[in-house]
Amino acid sequence: MIFLIAIIGGGIVGTLIARELNKYVEDVWLFEAKTNFGMAVTKSNSAILHGGYDDPPGSLRAQLCYKGNQLYTQLQKELNFDLKRVGSHVVAIEDEETNYIYDLLKKAEKNGVKEVRIVEKLELLEMEKNINPKAKRSLFCEIAGIFDPWIVAIQAAKSVRINGGRTLTKKRLVEVEKKNGKFLLKFQDKSEYFADLVINAAGLYADDVAKLFGDEVPEIFPVKGEYFLLSKDYQYVNSTIFPVPTGISKGCLVLPTVDGGYLVGPNANRVMSKNDTATTREGLNEIREKGMRLVPNLNFRRHLVKTFAGLRPETEKKDFYIDVGKSGAIHVSGIRSPGLTAAPAIAKYVVEYLIQEKIGLKIYQRENYIAEMEKTPHLVHIDRDKWNKIIQEDPNAGEMICHCNKVTKKEIIDSINNGARTLDDIKFMTRASFGECQGGFCTAKILKILAEYTNRDPREINQNEDGTWIVNAKVRI
């Protein structure tokens, strides 16, 4: 019987694989190089639940995207995260673009997606009043949605811990040896672990990790997408607005976020470095122009909150690579769009097909598995009488720390109790400092709370990775 299964990579794919495996095997260990889960590719993208109509029929992407979309309904209930099925439009503005959306409708039929239809101009303008009035029609997908994918990863990792597995952060794999039929995993901090089976879900670095096992997977090259985040002050769109895509990407989108803001982007530019997340003047100008083609009244000057960029792991084949290597390790690589949507289906594919059928490992579902996870509620969204009762029990629930996103001291302390150790951990777990001031008014308070509740000097606290310090000296005694 398997003693230990290791998953390398704690993004949304790796954490959901770990969670799916944990339904069968208790000794699942999840290793993540960063300080928290979902902090790489998972957090810097459009955060869309795709419908599955766009992927090439017959591809692994097509096989897993629509299935993943359907699995999110139950996953949302079990992991307790916000998911809004706001729908999506692929908009034809020029006459020649109309043929493409009819082709998409045919592709949807081949992929088994039934929840799509053509929306003509008058109805489109009723559904989206700010869309370009020159728009002719759109392909509308009612099951498309928006969510915070890093929350899914964080909650999935929590599920692994609750069900007897282990989750370890700041663990970057640097060497692998095979000893007595087991994998000896060596990490940058000099720690070592034996594993009977290893699953490589290392995102941008999955091809590099595969080489540590002596295996080859399609080479990954990073493609950078830049974004604008706009504030909640004006309601631009109700659903995700796609242009007719190019051969490179799905194009520059305009979409709402689950907390009421708006994203505009991304572009798609191949870069040399897997660490290149810098925005560029040229890239942002490109996004501004393309975004306003879809929604002409976008006000980047008045409603801008921030700009950012993310990287996605692309390959020349433009499809997922999920298979068993010659070493016996499983490699989940090249998880480009729609990887977020496909993630729960990828997890089942790995466990039910690769592990149980292809490898032939006999594992059985555990009777004591706990499926549903609790999450600290965002107090501003609950009933005021209930909130007042919570304040009576815990006065920290009545102290507002982040005024932009209405995050209380209790929510920040709860995130620390759930493993937050950096400012970004708290930011992505609670949305504190995620608002319009971008931490200008709350960072000092959060820093003080982190120092107090982790018994550290403020100078020891980082923004995210080691060395990203916030303060390095006292200015008053």
Which pair of structure tokens corresponds to residue 85?
């099925």
Give the C-alpha separation, 379 to 361, whole Å. 45
Residue 107's alpha-carbon distances to 101, 110, 219, in angstroms, are 10, 5, 28
Q: Which amino acid is at 364?
A: Y
> What pairing do the DSSP bridges indicate for beta strands 240-243 and 88-92?
parallel
Helices (H) and strands (E) in the chain, counts: 13, 23
Task: Decide: 240 and 255 in contact? Cβ < 8 Å.
Answer: yes
The three-state DSSP-derived secondary structure of 339-393 is: HHHHHHHHHHHHHHHHHHHHCCCCCCCCCCCCCCCCCCCCHHHCCHHHHHHHHHH
Whether a cis peptide bond, with omega within 30° of 0, leads into 149 is no
Catalytic residue among 50, 89, 303, 331, which? Answer: 50
Give the C-alpha separation, 82 to 431, whole Å. 13
Closest to 350 in 3D by CA, of 362, 358, 339:
358
Q: Identify whether 50 is a catalytic site residue.
A: yes
Q: Active-site residue numbers?
A: 50
